[in-house]
Homo-oligomer: A and B are copies of this chain.
Amino acid sequence: MKKIAVFTSGGDSPGMNACVRSVVRTGIYHKLEVYSIMYGYDGMIRGDIRKMQSHSVSNILQRGGTVLKSARSEAFRTKEGRKKAYEQLQSHGIEGLIAIGGDGTFTGAKIFFEEFGIPTVGCPGTIDNDIYGTDYTIGFDTAVNTALEAIDKIRDTAAAHDRIFFVEVMGRDSGYIAIECAIGGGAELVMVPETKTTIDDVVKSLKGLRKSKTSSIVVVAEGDEEGGAAHIMDKVKAHFKEEDKEFKVTTLGHIQRGGNPTAKDRILGSRSGMAAVEGLLQGKSNCMAGIINDKVVYTPFEDCITKDKPLSEEYLRLQEMLSI
């Protein structure tokens, strides 16, 4: 293998740049020519492909977002689109691919590999931490810390006014961000898609807590089965008398995706990038380079996409104990 290419796809996450930098530099270290594909699968089809040097990735390690840009690609969902992408790679002599992204990215990579056979290794770049085959995804730690800083600020104002705050964090199918924010933020309650918490449960808990606490924070994962935070708040509020408490809601939104990556995400991005390059060189393909128990593990894309990654029971138990 002489020439490889790297791209980012799907939602951006902090640490993707660290991963790109690592792919480029460890690739060059191993005597490879490394190319970047701009705008993910879309740029692959359009042939937006550039030769990278070591200095091309200078001073990006500490930046959020992705210098390779990201985009949705309807065309890549078609056989015809993928054929064009393949021809572009062929014309550049690309013999290996490194795909940085999440579920959707890996689904595309798997189909593409099975159709055209270009060896491909993935790196888990998504803030949601919902990928099987790695303890953490690149961007998760930053997203949690960003959300936590926001929750610290909200606690200031919640405490000043004796309010009950519902804070919605990201996580469409997964409560990872929510549970870490709840423990780290000292939230009184957490609502995640993985567990069933009814409105009645919430009402009962909050009424119980009122005896000992003047203000409360409820962390809600956006994908909770009871709906978003605003919806849940309205339903809970109906069970309280008006004068009882002031209820407020905040949706943290896109700030959780951006920002300078934390140490953990810079290191995870760097390790994962190196592991992807070395995996390709060792003949690995159709799999993702994750870190499990501090060791590099290659997991088939098939498993990454289809297998569940359950929330820690210990964390749920811990959150409950700490909120007394």
Question: Which A residues form the contact surface with B (CB < 8 A)?
Answer: 8, 11-12, 14, 21-22, 25-26, 28-29, 54-55, 58-59, 61-66, 69-71, 135, 141, 144-146, 148-150, 152-157, 159-162, 165, 180-181, 183-186, 212-213, 248, 250-255, 257-260, 262-264, 266-267, 270-271, 274, 293-294, 296, 312, 314-315, 318, 321-322, 324
Chain A contact residues, majority secondary structure: helix
Residues of B within 8 A of A293 (CB): 293-294
Which B residue's beta carbon lies closest to that of A165?
B254
Picked from B161, B274, B322, the residue with its CB within 8 Å of the CB of A25 is: B322
Whether A254 touches B154, Cβ cut-off 8 Å, given contacts A184-B266, A263-B141, A264-B264, is: yes
Q: Which residues of B contact A11 (CB under 8 A)?
A: 157
How many copies of this chain does one complex carry?
A: 4
**Pair B65/A156 contact, Cβ less than 8 Å:** yes
A183 and B270 in contact, given A65-B156, A152-B62 (Cβ under 8 angstroms): yes
Q: A257's contact among B54, B59, B156, by CB below 8 Å, is which?
A: B156
Which 7 A-B pairs have CB atoms at the shortest separation, nearest pair first? A153-B258, A65-B156, A64-B156, A156-B258, A12-B160, A65-B160, A293-B293
Which residues of B have CB within 8 Å of A28?
A: 324
| Contact assessment for A270 and B322 in the assembled complex, using a CB-CB cutoff below 8 Å | yes
**A183 in contact with B251 (CB, 8 Å):** no
Closest-by-CB residue of B relative to A71 is B161
Question: What is the CA–CA distance of A320 and B293 in the complex, to the nearest angstrom?
Answer: 23
Of listed A312, A315, A324, residue having the most chain B CB within 10 A: A324
**Residues in chain B near residue A264, CB distance under 8 A:** 141, 264
A54's nearest neighbour on chain B, judged by CB, is: B324
- Whether A186 contacts B254 in the complex (CB less than 8 A), given A161-B69, A293-B294, A318-B270, comes out as no
Contact between A258 and B318, CB atoms less than 8 A apart: no
Can you add 14 more A-B contacts, CB < 8 Å, to A141-B263, A183-B267?
A11-B157, A22-B318, A62-B152, A65-B156, A65-B157, A65-B160, A70-B161, A144-B263, A154-B255, A154-B258, A157-B258, A180-B267, A264-B264, A274-B318
Q: Which residues of B are found within 8 Å of A165, using beta-carbon distances?
A: 254
Q: How far is the CA of A314 from the CA of B26 in the complex (A)?
A: 13
- List, sorted by A's number, 12 A–B pairs whose CB atoms are closer than 8 Å: A54-B324, A61-B185, A64-B157, A65-B156, A71-B161, A146-B153, A148-B266, A150-B255, A154-B255, A156-B259, A250-B253, A293-B294
Known contacts A186-B62, A251-B253, A263-B145: does B258 contact A155 (CB below 8 Å)? yes
A321 to B270, CA, bound (A): 10
